[in-house]
């Protein structure tokens, strides 16, 4: 007898068509926001560089920050999808995208990325190793709550420490928001290493905050992106809870 209680739900989560849709959606969002026209040169970010002129700027030493961001964003969403499918390649890709995301975040003013992203990098490596050894989906317990509360505490500590040590943007509103978002992601990534069902509940909270933030900023492109991420977290949460291990 099949252990799959909701085969349609499992089919949706495992769908390659949704992977393609996600990649196209993220590319469309980035293109709409003209991320591909962004460069980093002489210590400054420059926006709106015509695509036909990017080659000239790059040959003169500019870093194609926008193109790098677009590629990283696409691989990031694919890593999320693969993790939801219980495919360990998702954790491996996340290791690589953490490096690129940290660089991009640093260049955009979050200098605490120097000490925050290495921790995320370590957590993805732990997840890859534990999944490779046969980690099974588990239900929430005391450790799950300790991981997530601890993640938020560590998130605030590292972001403020990083701002104090390395500078960058230091306005309190920015630091609180970055701390909360980073802390939630820490808890979710560490929960993922233990394959908690509620990992996806943590991502639901994270994506809801990101969605609200971008809605208030009227950043419609990012609203669309986080609506998809939220949808993906919801269906994956129910798939892991109802259908269990792949």
- Mean pLDDT, to the nearest integer, of 137-147? 96
Res 68: pLDDT: 86
- Rounded Cα–Cα distance for residues 230 and 79 (Å): 15
Taking 60 as the threshold, does the pLDDT of residue 144 lie above it? Answer: yes
Question: Phi first, then psi: what are they for 123, rounded to 5°?
Answer: -65, -40
- Mean pLDDT, to the nearest integer, of 102-116? 82
Count CB neighbours of 132 within 10 A.
11
pTM of the model: 0.89
Average pLDDT, the chain: 90
- Rounded Cα–Cα distance for residues 56 and 58 (Å): 5
- Mean pLDDT, to the nearest integer, of 97-110? 84
Residue range 204-240, pLDDT digits in tens: 999 999 898 888 767 777 788 899 999 999 999 999 9
Res 1: pLDDT: 39
DSSP 196: B
Res 2: pLDDT: 52
Res 239: pLDDT: 97
Banded pLDDT at 11 (limits 50, 70, 90): very high
Per DSSP, what are the bridge partners of residue 45? 40
DSSP 85: T
Question: Phi first, then psi: what are they for 47, rounded to 5°?
Answer: -105, 160
> What are the extents of the domains in the chain?
7-243
Residue range 161-204, pLDDT digits in tens: 888 888 777 788 888 988 999 999 999 999 999 999 999 999 99
What percentage of the chain exceeds 90 in pLDDT? Answer: 57
Residue range 52-99, pLDDT digits in tens: 898 899 999 989 888 988 898 899 999 999 999 999 999 999 999 999
Nearest 5°: the CA angle 159, 130, 13 is 85
């Amino acid at each position: 007898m099949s252990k799959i209680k909701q085969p349609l739900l499992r089919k949706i989560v495992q769908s390659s068509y949704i992977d393609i849709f996600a990649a196209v959606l993220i590319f469309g969002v980035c293109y709409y926001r003209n991320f591909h026209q962004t460069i980093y040169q002489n210590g400054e970010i420059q926006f709106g560089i015509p695509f036909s002129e990017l080659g000239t700027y790059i040959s003169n030493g500019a870093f194609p920050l926008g193109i790098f961001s677009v590629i990283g964003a696409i691989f990031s969403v694919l890593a999320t999808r693969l993790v939801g499918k219980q495919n360990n390649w998702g954790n491996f890709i996340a290791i690589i995208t953490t490096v690129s995301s940290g660089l991009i975040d640093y260049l955009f003013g979050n200098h605490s990325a120097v000490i925050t992203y290495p921790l995320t990098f370590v957590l993805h490596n732990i997840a890859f190793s534990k999944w490779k050894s046969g980690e099974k989906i588990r239900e929430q317990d005391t450790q799950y709550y300790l991981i997530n509360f601890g993640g938020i505490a560590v998130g605030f500590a590292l972001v403020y420490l990083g701002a104090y040590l390395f500078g960058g943007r230091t306005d309190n509103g920015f630091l609180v928001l970055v701390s909360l978002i980073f802390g939630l992601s820490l808890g979710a990534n560490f929960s993922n290493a233990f394959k908690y069902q509620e990992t996806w509940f943590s991502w639901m909270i994270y994506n809801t905050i990101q969605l609200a933030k971008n809605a208030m900023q009227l950043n419609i492109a990012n609203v669309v992106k986080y609506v998809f991420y939220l949808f993906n977290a919801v269906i994956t949460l129910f798939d892991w809870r109802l259908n269990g291990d792949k």
